[in-house]
A and B are shown apart, each in its own frame.
Chain A
Amino acid sequence: AQSVSQHNHHVILSEAASLELGCNYSYGGTVNLFWYVQYPGQHLQLLLKYFSGDPLVKGIKGFEAEFIKSKFSFNLRKPSVQWSDTAEYFCAVICMEYGNKLVFGAGTILRVKS
């Protein structure tokens, strides 16, 4: 079965620190990859997506992610976090041969200290 692993459940950073959240998926076929963010009390929002082409994708709010096919990874990065980035981050994958359902990772709670 397809699965998504997020390496850290809780991350605490100070403002201006760099962020990297790990995400690995287990599926050898064609994938679409996503990072969603959920701010406290709000709905899941799309941060960025990878469908094809340039494996380095840029999203909203200064986030980017790199798809490394050989490592089955799609890590999320931000060079300098802000207090307002405090949220839960979810990596998700669509395995194209299995329809359009999203398979989510467990989520990483990021707390940024001001």
Chain B
Amino acid sequence: EPEVTQTPSHQVTQMGQEVILRCVPISNHLYFYWYRQILGQKVEFLVSFYNNEISEKSEIFDDQFSVERPDGSNFTLKIRSTKLEDSAMYFCASSTRQGVWQPQHFGDGTRLSIL
């Protein structure tokens, strides 16, 4: 079964540094998402992306965050100047729509630790 892949599995970064989290969605999927889970808290929606633009974003997704699909396969989340509270597990997901919405498939996640 095709999978969503995320790299790296663990990223450690100094506060204030930029970080890029990478995702390769399932190849025939057209909708892409980022979620995060702060330790001990719920999985929270960050952003959805379709047709090379953001289709929806949460209030968490402020100006420090950006997403990009730089080529036909990768989907990236950039945090421009990381803060301690950005430490979390970040999940990428993808889905398609075939008349009705199809379930989102998730990657293994990237654990981001901000020091």
Contacts and interface: CB of A to CB of B under 8 A. Distances in A.
Contact of A104 (B4, B44, B48, B107): B44
Main secondary structure of the interface of B (DSSP, over half): strand
B43 A104 contact: yes
A105 B41 CA distance: 9
A25 interface: no
A44 interface: yes
B109 A43 contact: yes
Given A94-B101, A100-B31, A100-B95, A105 B42 contact: yes
Interface of A: 32, 34, 36, 42-46, 49, 51, 90, 92, 94, 99-107
Given A44-B91, A99-B48, 10 more contacts: A36-B106, A43-B107, A46-B105, A101-B56, A102-B35, A104-B35, A104-B43, A104-B44, A106-B42, A107-B43
